């Protein structure tokens, strides 16, 4: 677990920052019971082949199998609750002058914890999108085994509103994320393996514009070597600890 001196130093940097940006990944939701992608035992990509389930071709080839899997994930996420890490990130937003949250997660748990204006880098599990006419809608009701939803406008099979492998990040999402990364003083990278680009490149962009880079993760990642601070431990412990320092320092200066 990260030592208290490093927590204090990062909390101090956060308290002094004019703009804090946070990038989160699946690790933030792990303590809620949502599996990550790359954990060697429990990760989704250890059990399922993304090429068979999470590509446009998978939906063209066998939409039923792909939809059954995404509907299983919808059920799983609906049944869990945000954890202390999500809560602390939502509260941190109200404790600094300007705050941006970019998440690679599609589970909506940040919003359920009270975060607003969340930039959803990889989309949202609870939307449907049409590959044909690109319309996006709230998810149509449906369970595993139900036929895949079709677009009312053009008749194409819909996909969930997430970025599938091989699809591009929408330009507006990329732009908002880059603005957050390049405009912040502190860039916190929480619970992501930092393997997947372009999301992983946001830390480089933030560093290039002079931000202090902080990693919060239970494990070593490619970012660990270059981050200014590495806070090793679960986000459900570390994020509340950081929030505590920020709130204490705010009281001292008030």
Based on CB atoms, which residue is closest to ligand OAD, 24 or 212?
A: 24
Contact of 174 with 198, CB cutoff 8 Å: yes
Tell me how far apart the alpha carbons of residues 125 and 249 are, in angstroms, rounded to a whole number: 37
Based on CB atoms, which residue is closest to ligand OAD, 224 or 249?
A: 224
Based on CB atoms, which residue is closest to ligand OAD, 84 or 158?
A: 84
Tell me how far apart the alpha carbons of residues 212 and 194 are, in angstroms, rounded to a whole number: 17
Q: CB 120 → ligand OAD: shortest distance, Å?
A: 10
Q: CB 60 → ligand OAD: shortest distance, Å?
A: 18
Question: Which residues of this chain interact with ligand OAD, rule CB under 6 A?
Answer: 25-27, 30-31, 36-38, 43, 54, 104, 122, 163, 191-193, 195-196, 216-219, 221, 234-236
What is the number of the residue whose Cβ is closest to ligand OAD? 27
Which residues sit opposite 213 in a β-bridge? 187
Question: What is the separation, in whole angstroms, between the first and last Cα of the chain?
Answer: 31
Is 122 marked active-site? yes
Please pick, among 19, 86, 110, 122, the residue that the annotation labels catalytic. Answer: 122
User: CA separation (Å) from 37 to 49, 66, 208?
Assistant: 11, 16, 28
- 201 half-sphere exposure, CB direction, 13 A CA radius: 8
Radius of gyration for the chain, computed over Cα atoms and rounded to the nearest angstrom: 19
Based on CB atoms, which residue is closest to ligand OAD, 38 or 150?
A: 38
Q: CB 56 → ligand OAD: shortest distance, Å?
A: 12
Active site residues: 122
């Amino acid at each position: 677990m990260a030592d208290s001196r490093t927590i204090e130093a990062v909390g101090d940097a956060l308290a002094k920052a004019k703009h804090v940006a946070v990038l989160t990944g699946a690790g933030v939701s792990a303590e809620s019971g949502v599996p990550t992608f790359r954990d060697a035992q429990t990760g989704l990509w250890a059990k399922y082949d993304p090429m068979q389930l999470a590509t446009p071709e998978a939906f063209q080839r066998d939409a039923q199998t792909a939809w059954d899997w995404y509907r299983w994930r919808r059920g799983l996420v609906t049944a869990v609750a945000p954890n202390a890490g999500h809560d602390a990130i939502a509260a941190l937003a109200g404790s600094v002058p300007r705050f941006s949250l970019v998440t690679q997660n599609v589970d909506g748990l940040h919003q359920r914890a009270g975060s607003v204006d969340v930039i959803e880098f990889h989309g949202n599990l609870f939307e449907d999108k049409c590959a044909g006419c690109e319309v996006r809608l709230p998810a149509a009701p449906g369970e595993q085994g139900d036929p895949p939803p079709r677009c009312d406008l053009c008749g194409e099979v819909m996909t969930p509103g997430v970025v599938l492998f091989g699809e591009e990040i929408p330009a507006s999402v990329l732009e908002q994320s880059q603005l957050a990364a390049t405009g912040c003083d502190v860039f916190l990278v929480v619970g992501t393996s930092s393997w997947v680009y372009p999301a992983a490149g946001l830390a480089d962009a933030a560093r290039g514009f002079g931000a202090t880079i902080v990693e919060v993760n239970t494990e070593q990642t490619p970012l660990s070597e270059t981050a200014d601070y590495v806070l090793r431990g679960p986000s459900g412990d570390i994020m509340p600890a950081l929030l505590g320092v920020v709130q204490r320092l705010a009281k001292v200066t008030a």
